[in-house]
A and B are shown apart, each in its own frame.
Chain A
Amino acid sequence: MHEQADRTRDTASQGAATLRRGQFLKIGLTGLVAVAIGSEAKLVSGLLGARASAAPAVYDITITDAMVEMINLDPVYHWVFADATGPHLPGPALHALEGDTIELRITNTLDEAHAFAIDGTAIATGPIPPGQSRTLSFTAPAPGTYVYLDPLNAPVNRLLGLYGVLIVLPSAGSTPYTGPPPRLQRLFDDLGTTAHFPGEPWIPERTRVWQVHSVDSRWNALAAAGRTIDAAALVADYRPDFFTLNGQSGYFASHNSRNAPEGRVGQPFLIRITNTGLMAHSLHLHGNHFYLCAVGGVPQASVRMIDSWRIGPLDRADWVMPFIRPPDIAGPATRPLRQALRQELSYRDSYGLSQCPLEFPMHCHMEPSQTAKGGNYPGGLVTHWEITGDLDLDFAAAGFDCEATPAPAEIAAAAGTVHVHG
């Protein structure tokens, strides 16, 4: 089983309370898990803020099913990818280096044919009958962010949970791309080296993946009942009641350090975004404009600095969040935040919560996506990011009392795994 970046301890066995105990052989948690496939696993260790591990020479992926608790604890039937550590929603985030030879073995344990493919490439298993396996060998494609999915009965099988990302890194260079267009190269060259980007260059460890998705649980219930879902009927009557980011919604998607970038001013992040749902989202970042670096896997020749961007079904985008000092803070633009916002960083609200670190949301502006079951705002497609200090000093080191984010070791201890044997 994998862990997720929760802030608190809990007991995993509570999860079975809403369902009949004994029906589940294993219990998992939603969230992002990273796996290095290919030759250079050590390069991607630590990426995503997730626990990364090196996969064996042949990485086994199983297509299975799972009940998944949504934000309101509704258990919703899904089809999911699993590996030796258990089921994952989304599937494990696969990492490789350009040119790596990758070998996957996909096993279909369900009652109908499924398949595995990397969208936008020719890499695909073709249909795998129930109970059978297929081995897929391929060379890692050009550096970038890819969606892998079950392409059968599109869009049904991916909507029911069979989606994940493949991230391919370049074997050389200072950007996430091989031979990027000149202005994109210059952006990465300028980060941390120019007057307008003081601080540090981008480093691969400062990466987050945001997989946005939609769920219309009526169709999942039909699948749970063993019914074959007609793709055209679903598309004609699709009314999602849950919206997720890396499989989570609302508070649980937001206050999760695997989703939420955090750093001091001058520590830029790369965000890799995919949409495996069926709706067009309009992702809006507060606090900083972002650079739109790649669209649909294509590194951009004109790299726009914007605050909202459309991510339609099966769209992909890479952003750079520059982590500049939020430019419009009242008063002189050159004052360190610890001075300009001394009172704000010291403020505690009626919940006793500190305004340190500085938190800004990222959310979809197609606002019906901010709901769960038609309400519970903000219970949908949302996360946030945090500024934890000035260029030269963490706020905590400057004497401010900040809400702590647990270290990875704490997260691992808090998440845990429970096997419930029937």
Chain B
Amino acid sequence: MAEFLIRRRRVVPDSTDEAMFDKFIQPPAEPSRTLDRVPADVFFRRNVGDGIDIPLPFRLPDGKDKLRMWVVGNPDGTRTFPSEAIRVRAGQTVHVETTTSIGPHTIHWHGVEGSPMNDGVGKHSFEIRGRYTYQFTPRDPGFFFYHCHRNTPLHFEMGLYGALIVDPPQGPGYVSALSPATNDVVPYQSEVIWVCGAQDPRWHEFSHNHAIGSPDPNDPKSFTTGGGLGDWKPTVFNITGAVAKDGATVITDPRAMGRARPGQTVLVRLLNASYAIQEYRIGADALVIAQDGRALGVPPYGAYSEPFTIPAGKPFQLTSAMRHDILLRPAAPGVIPFQVDYWDWQGATLRGRAKTQIVVA
């Protein structure tokens, strides 16, 4: 036995400290209305937590050929995995009226920096049990995403995420990139969204509040044990919702596979939406023009950086939530292969591989 004991501090019962601890674990419900509300330029409705089964191109060990996912649905009935993309223009004030199937949930607008009550993180604001309208005014064009931030290890993995694209004022077809001659806006003709995900089917049996508990901070027995959310071993790998049959078969599902004509500019939006270390290979020189929704080299905030090129075929890695906006300029007909290797987060084990391509014709 050791000579020393290093303590975790105790929380004083019935104190502000205890209230803050409790809020951290079990956030309060939403306010009755959006505070400091300003008029919206664009309006969306979303419902968090709709269940759908996605088909698998193989059978799981238990014989099933589908996987239960949770998605952010559109109340018009649209339920897709990943959840439907939200697309707005820079400078627009956005309202998203949000409800839940089985509460509580939130939506965090990853990379968009609104006020805490519109950031969708329960421990610093609230979680939605009924209805709340998020509002924000994204100023910077770029590639963002949204996801539920309740019991996040589980809810994000289950599919509660989608792309959030902020176009420059010119709209889709233009992207913010260093180009002083054109006011740092560049046209593109083909857009490919590669949101690379992975799933551990063992987790897809869990309930919304799995392993959260409502611990008394000073009672060791009140914390949950054995929840399994620290142990993630994916066996299902997808690119933008299209599940890879195996590591050799090229995905041709149009959600993943891109198309372009020779001479066109292709914009690739790349996101690691998993807990794997993702290693990519793109079969063409890739000009990285933006990272995490900020254009490299573009003043004022981007002026301390510059775009960079990843040579064709050279592997590069992103960890969870990291994003690149990439320009490709294929000159001749052919295919540009794209491969994702999913390494476990210790970096030691290759869990899986997915392949797709851009057809240039």
Q: Do A and B actually bind?
A: yes
Partner pick for B121 among A281, A286, A302, CB 8 A cutoff: A286
Give a binary string over B330-346; 1 marks a CB under 8 Å from any A CB, 0 the rest.
00000000000000011
Chain A positions 319-343 with a Cβ under 8 Å from a chain B Cβ: 326-331, 333, 340-343
Tell me, in angstroms, the Cα distance from A29 to B108 when the chains sit together.
34
Chain A: minimal CB distance from B335 (Å): 30
Chain B residue with the shortest CB-CB distance to A186: B304
A136 at the interface (CB under 8 A from B): no
- Contact (Cβ within 8 A) A187 B6: no
Chain B residue with the shortest CB-CB distance to A182: B304
Q: Which residues from chain A contact B272 at a C-beta distance below 8 Å? A: 282
Chain B positions 112-161 with a Cβ under 8 Å from a chain A Cβ: 112-119, 121, 123-126, 135-140, 151-153, 156-157
Q: Which residues from chain B contact A286 at a C-beta distance below 8 Å? A: 108, 113, 119, 121
Chain B residue with the shortest CB-CB distance to A109: B3
Chain B residue with the shortest CB-CB distance to A358: B116
Q: Which residues from chain B contact A371 at a C-beta distance below 8 Å? A: 153, 211, 227, 229-230
Chain B positions 1-38 with a Cβ under 8 Å from a chain A Cβ: 1-12, 15-17, 19-25, 28-29, 31, 35-38
- Contact (Cβ within 8 A) B116 A240: no
B181 at the interface (CB under 8 A from A): no
- Contact (Cβ within 8 A) A28 B6: yes
Q: Which residues from chain A contact B293 at a C-beta distance below 8 Å? A: 289, 307
Count how many chain A residues have C-beta atoms less than 8 Å from C-beta atoms of the other chain: 125
With A72-B215, A330-B136 known as contacts, the answer to whether A360 contacts B124 (CB < 8 A) is: yes
- Contact (Cβ within 8 A) B121 A361: yes
Contact-residue size bin, chain B (C-beta under 8 Å from the other chain)? 35 or more
Main secondary structure of the interface of B (DSSP, over half): loop
Q: Which residues from chain A contact B322 at a C-beta distance below 8 Å? A: 282, 306, 308-310
A230 at the interface (CB under 8 A from B): no
A23 at the interface (CB under 8 A from B): yes
Interface-centre pick from B25, B113, B135, B231 (highest chain A CB count, 10 A): B113
| A-binding residues in B (CB < 8 A) | 1-12, 15-17, 19-25, 28-29, 31, 35-38, 93-94, 108-119, 121, 123-126, 135-140, 151-153, 156-157, 210-213, 215, 217-220, 223-232, 272, 275, 277, 291-294, 296, 300-306, 308, 317-323, 345-348
A-B interface, 7 closest residue pairs, ranked by CB to CB distance from nearest: A375-B211, A375-B227, A282-B319, A15-B7, A66-B4, A72-B223, A374-B227
Sample (17) of A-B pairs whose CB atoms are under 8 Å apart? A14-B10, A27-B5, A67-B4, A195-B300, A302-B308, A304-B304, A305-B294, A306-B291, A344-B35, A349-B23, A353-B23, A360-B124, A361-B124, A368-B232, A368-B345, A375-B225, A377-B151
